[in-house]
Amino acid sequence: VRIPGSHRLGEEGTGFYQVMQGFDYNRIGIALACLGVAQQSVEETMAYVRERRAFGQPLARFQGVSFSIAEAATHVEACRWLCYRALWLADQGKPHTKESAMTKWWGPRLSVDTIHQCLLLHGHYGYTDELPFEQRMRDVIGLEIGDGASEVMKMVVARELLGRESLPY
């Protein structure tokens, strides 16, 4: 098939690079979507542990509860900033493939862990379909797979850090 030059998108020979740039943006977007779900789960859980009482006091007063929320909030915030850094690098026209791959494997993984922790803090009720946690976990696991599984993202990160010669293929 002959395509007129006026219909070409970008310079000749740059198609693969353009597609890969799209992957980099998609990967950051997927991570941010997962982090949004995790953040919502943390906020709902914070409201719950402030209200739910055990042994005459709110669950939030127990370190086993409050520490896990502190950890989850810290991880979500740190990964969000990694996403912002990857987007900033892209805006500056700088390489951002490594950071994009980092966000893609870490964002969904920590979101699954965060949502799971929130589910546990709601007790047996958190595992029912009356609360959104079990559905959110399935949704985020699906996003963990799409656009490159975690193992692929780790290979991309390793390649960017160590060079192609470090890869087994």
Residue 150 · residue 108 · CB < 8 Å: yes
- Sign for the CA dihedral angle at 61, 63, 69, 70 comes to positive
- The token duo for 140 is 């985020």
List pLDDT tens digits, range 6-43: 888 888 887 777 777 888 999 999 999 999 999 999 99
List pLDDT tens digits, range 87-110: 999 999 999 999 999 999 999 999
Query: 9: left (phi > 0), else alpha (psi -120 to 50), else beta?
Result: beta
What is the average pLDDT across 123-143? 95
List pLDDT tens digits, range 36-84: 999 999 999 999 999 999 999 999 999 999 999 999 999 999 999 999 9
The per-residue pLDDT for 162 is 94
Residue 146 has pLDDT above 90, yes or no: no
Q: How many other C-beta atoms lie within 10 A of the C-beta of residue 101? A: 27
The amino acid at residue 103 is: T
Residue 132 has pLDDT above 80, yes or no: yes
pTM for this model (two decimals): 0.88
Residue 107 · residue 34 · CB < 8 Å: yes
Q: What is the pLDDT confidence band of residue 130, given thresholds at 50, 70 and 90?
A: very high
Nearest in space to 61 (alpha carbons), one of 73, 74, 46, 76: 46
Query: CA-CA distances (angstroms) from residue 75 to 10, 121, 135?
Result: 39, 17, 21
The per-residue pLDDT for 69 is 98
The per-residue pLDDT for 7 is 87
d(CA 82, CA 96): 11
Between residues 146 and 49, the one the model is more confident about: 49
The per-residue pLDDT for 145 is 92
Q: Report the DSSP beta bridge partners of residue 57.
A: 54
Which domains, from first to last, does the chain contain?
19-164 (1.20.140.10)
Which helix (H) or strand (E) element contains residue 57? strand 57-58
Q: What is the pLDDT confidence band of residue 5, given thresholds at 50, 70 and 90?
A: confident
